[in-house]
Structure 1
Amino acid sequence: MYEFLRAKILTGELPPGSRLAIPALAKQLDVSRSPVRDAVLQLVREGLAVEEFNRGAVVYLPTHATLVSLYHAREAMEGMAARLAADAISASTLDQLDAVLREHESIDPDDFARHIELDARFHRAIRDAASSPVLAKMLEEIQGQVIVAMRSTNLSGGVRRATADHRAILEALAQHDADAAETAARAHISRLTRILEVEEEDTNVQNGASAQQG
């Protein structure tokens, strides 16, 4: 049940603000309320849903400030995942990453949904190769919130820039160069973090100007 609802949130079928009413979901899915309640509580713990007064749980859209904070944490953790993966990554995993990346490089740059899907697959494969269950779990939760935000705001540094970054990460992994892999992974996330920070600065300036005019 949790995986089912989580997938609907990440694909945008349940967009931010959607109510996760336990009685209604249980009736719709023809199950008892207990597994639905457990699933919703898990989504709240993961940060994909939030409890609102008089509304119950709703799908959560991270604030801009929260998203910046998530990216700061993600930079360090994706870097560590790449470092750990570089030491023991298999030839089959490198082939898998290359196949995902080649597909990503070939998509229409305006196909934002496909971009999100392939980007997530690339990073998830590296996390799996790192063989660190705790790190993988933390990154999966962060990426879930990031995907919701990306779908809702069209946040992206551009498909071509993303795939170029991924190619640099893959080349370092193929060389089993842990330092280069971590550097490339951190640089990739840092570039996106800077985009968010600039957007936040611009928003603050605009809000300040509006307040002065008011």
Structure 2
Amino acid sequence: MSTARPESGLAEHAYLCLRQAILDRRFEPGERLSVAVVAERLEVGRSPAREAIARITYEGLAQFEPNKGAVVANPDRGELVEIYEVREVLEGLACRLASQRVSAADLRDLRAILADQRAAIDSGDVARHYTVDMRFHARVREIAANSKLATQLYLLQDQIRLAMSTTHRSPGGMPLALAEHHRIVDALESRDVLLAEFAGRSHIARLRKDLAIVEPTSAISGPSVAEPSR
């Protein structure tokens, strides 16, 4: 029996590999994504590489430039603020929907995640905090049970992760993020849709405002930032 992947499987494999390579900065911001180079570096055929580049561009991790073709996106802080403006509304909606659908078991899960977040803060483990932070927001989206909303938020999250590798550290820090997460969970438990939406939006709005006013310091990359996933 042949073990070759179907063409659709090859395209999906190429897309996932290219996406991860960009987020891991194995393709640098501003780097040209030629079909030949992508195919060679990912060890895939040109057709799957071409489809992967098109999909990455559609999702905002790459952009088309005249005379160059697709290049890895290189968002600046202003563009990141715009992304947060959109995410503020969508995360608020996710919390609103989650407040209508949350169960006792869901609340226990969220509280357990907050305990993990506290442990990460107490140990000064920024990378772990980054991972737990993503788990928290993913769990809220899961509770909200709106696949279209979740898809858009995950796309924004990838763009934020890429942008955070080329922008600067914002003030606030991990303890403040944890306090805001607690307010979100408390609002979900209250089943108050307006309070839940406000808690979700306020969390993102604070980060957006921080990004708009923070003075540049030194470049950061990936999980080394205190709050990259929001």
**TM-score bracket, shorter-length normalisation:** 0.7 to 0.9
CA separation in 2, counterparts of 1:15 and 1:176? 44
**Partner Cα distance (1:47, 1:131) in 2:** 24
The answer as to whether partners of 2:107 and 2:185 remain within 8 angstroms in 1 is yes
Higher mean Cα deviation, 44-53 or 109-118? 109-118
CA distance in 1, matches of 2:129, 2:164: 10
Residue in 1 that maps onto 2:228: none
The answer to whether the Cα contact below 8 Å between 2:76 and 2:166 also exists between their aligned partners in 1 is no
Structure 2 residue aligned with 1:114 = 128
Give the Cα separation in 2 of the matches to 1:125 and 1:9.
25
In the aligned structure 2, how far is the partner of 1:28 from the partner of 1:181?
Answer: 45
The 1:62/1:114 distance shift into structure 2, 3 A limit, reads farther
- CA distances 1:190-214 after superposition (whole Å, capped 9, x unpaired): 1011112223xx68xxxxxxxxxxx
* Structure 2: distance between partners of 1:50 and 1:7: 17
Aligned residue pairs, count: 201
Aligned partner (choices 20, 24, 28) of residue 41 of structure 2: 28
**1:177 partnered with 2:192:** yes
- Runs (4+) off by over 6 Å: none
Q: Is the 8 A contact 2:81 2:211 kept in 1?
A: yes
Which structure has more helix as a fraction of its residues? 1
Between the aligned partners of 1:171 and 1:10, the Cα distance in structure 2 is 33
Q: Let me know the Cα RMSD of the aligned residues.
A: 2.3
CA–CA distance in structure 1, aligned partners of residues 162 and 95 of structure 2: 23
Shift in CA distance, 15/30, structure 1 to aligned 2, threshold 3 Å: closer
Secondary structure at the aligned position of 2:166 is classed as helix
SS at match of 2:30: coil
Post-superposition Cα deviations, 1:19-42, rounded to whole Å, max 9, x if no partner, equal 433222222333211111111111
Describe the shift of the 1:14–1:29 C-alpha distance in structure 2 as closer, same or farther (beyond 3 A): closer
Q: Distance in 2 between matches of 1:186 and 1:127?
A: 14
1:161 alignment partner, one of 156, 163, 176: 176
| Distance change >3 Å, CA 151–CA 107, structure 1 → 2 | farther
The CA distance in 1 between the partners of 2:127 and 2:33, in whole Å, is: 23
- When normalised by structure 2's length, the TM-score is 0.77
Percent identical: 41
The one-letter code sitting in structure 2 at the alignment partner of 1:119 is: D
For the residues of structure 1 that align with 2:25 and 2:129, how far apart are their CA atoms?
14
CA shift, 1:111, in A, is 4.2
Shift of 1:148: 1.4
Query: What aligned pairs does 1:49-198 form with structure 2 within 5 A after superposition?
Result: 49-108=62-121, 111-156=125-170, 157-198=172-213
Unaligned residue ranges in structure 1 (runs of 5+)? 204-214
> 2: distance between equivalents of 1:13 and 1:111?
24
Q: Which moved more, 1:12-21 or 1:186-195?
A: 12-21
Mark the runs of 5 or more structure 2 residues left unpaired by the alignment.
Answer: 1-13, 217-230
